[in-house]
Homo-oligomer: A and B are copies of this chain.
């Protein structure tokens, strides 16, 4: 990044866009953020909702560095970074990138926050497809350190490097996903566990609240400190993951086989019979979720891991 203030265009200011705006404004204290969004009450909406994201920071400085654009050209023409989180609609994405490309500086970074439309699809109408890369956050981006940097076969190494450098300077954890795949990595992992959780609950083995308690008191804190491979590598002692698999592999395979059979028998697919009861249990157990409390504790957990 240059020593001049970074200029960031935020295209689409839903909850993800606002959280990213707040992240840039708070962690990059000289940057300027310009928001483009088609909602008619944009300025009112932002001034009502953004302050909730600006915790432990100089709110006035943040808001002074924020502005609004009337159109794509105004939003991106001086931008160092264009970060898009518009509708999850291929036509929207393929339509807007050529327009952004036309008006933005030649060295501006182009990032999409999409959770599922890969850069290779989004970039199909661009002149220089090497400029686009997906930066997929884990919600909310202001709190969670992860950014999945999902490159397309066209994305250039230089774009990836500059993208990593920016996020690392902000204290985030950008991780390169080397090949585009359905759902990228974090959601694929989390949804795999969600399916198994749903299968076990649907069999009456545990209820929703107890299952959550199990995760919070075991693999949650474990994986906050060491991911699954590192954790099982430690579990294998001096012989590492190989010893772990040699010793426990039989049990692992029995669990996988049982899971496959149970998922098949219980028809654990979206919209099937199991889903209604689990949603009902979640609603009864938790009512309306308090994300402020969750985010406060998550920040403390992340600080504890760093300490």
- Residues of chain A whose beta carbon lies under 8 Å from any beta carbon of chain B: 115-116, 138-139, 144-146, 148, 173, 175-179, 181-183, 185-197, 200-201, 203-206, 208-230, 232-235, 238, 240-242, 245, 249-259, 269-271, 275, 278-279, 281-283, 285-286, 288-291, 294, 297-298, 300-305, 307
- Other than A173-B217, A241-B278, A297-B307, give 8 A-B pairs with Cβ distance below 8 A: A197-B228, A216-B305, A221-B302, A225-B301, A253-B270, A297-B305, A300-B307, A301-B304
Residue among A240, A258, A298 with the highest chain B CB neighbour number at 10 A: A240
Chain B residues with Cβ under 8 A from A271's Cβ?
249, 253
What are 11 A-B interface contacts by the 8 Å CB criterion? A139-B235, A144-B218, A145-B218, A181-B205, A190-B193, A220-B221, A221-B298, A230-B289, A233-B282, A240-B286, A297-B305
Given contacts A212-B229, A249-B270, A275-B245, contact A189 B185 (CB under 8 A): no
Decide if A194 touches B252 in the complex (CB within 8 Å): yes
Chain B residues with Cβ under 8 A from A302's Cβ?
221
Of the residues B189, B217, B291, contact of A234 by C-beta under 8 Å:
B291
CB distance from A216 to the nearest CB of B (A): 5
CB distance from A87 to the nearest CB of B (A): 13
Of the residues B216, B219, B257, B269, contact of A190 by C-beta under 8 Å:
B219
Decide if A223 touches B226 in the complex (CB within 8 Å): no
Chain B residues with Cβ under 8 A from A275's Cβ?
245
Closest to A253 in B: B270
Decide if B300 touches A217 in the complex (CB within 8 Å): no
Decide if B179 touches A205 in the complex (CB within 8 Å): yes
Chain B residues with Cβ under 8 A from A138's Cβ?
217-219, 222
Chain B residues with Cβ under 8 A from A186's Cβ?
214-215, 218-219
Residue among A213, A227, A254 with the highest chain B CB neighbour number at 10 A: A227
Decide if B294 touches A304 in the complex (CB within 8 Å): no
Chain B residues with Cβ under 8 A from A241's Cβ?
278-279, 282-283
Chain B residues with Cβ under 8 A from A297's Cβ?
225, 304-305, 307
Chain B residues with Cβ under 8 A from A221's Cβ?
144, 220, 224, 298, 301-302, 305
CB-CB nearest 9 A-B residue pairs: A212-B227, A220-B223, A234-B289, A300-B304, A192-B196, A182-B258, A138-B218, A173-B217, A183-B255
Residue among A116, A225, A252 with the highest chain B CB neighbour number at 10 A: A225
Closest to A251 in B: B116
Given contacts A139-B235, A250-B270, A278-B241, contact A225 B298 (CB under 8 A): yes
A188 to B307, CA, bound (A): 31
A86 to B105, CA, bound (A): 68
Of the residues B146, B181, B204, B245, contact of A200 by C-beta under 8 Å:
B181
Of the residues B116, B192, B223, contact of A259 by C-beta under 8 Å:
B192
Closest to A223 in B: B220
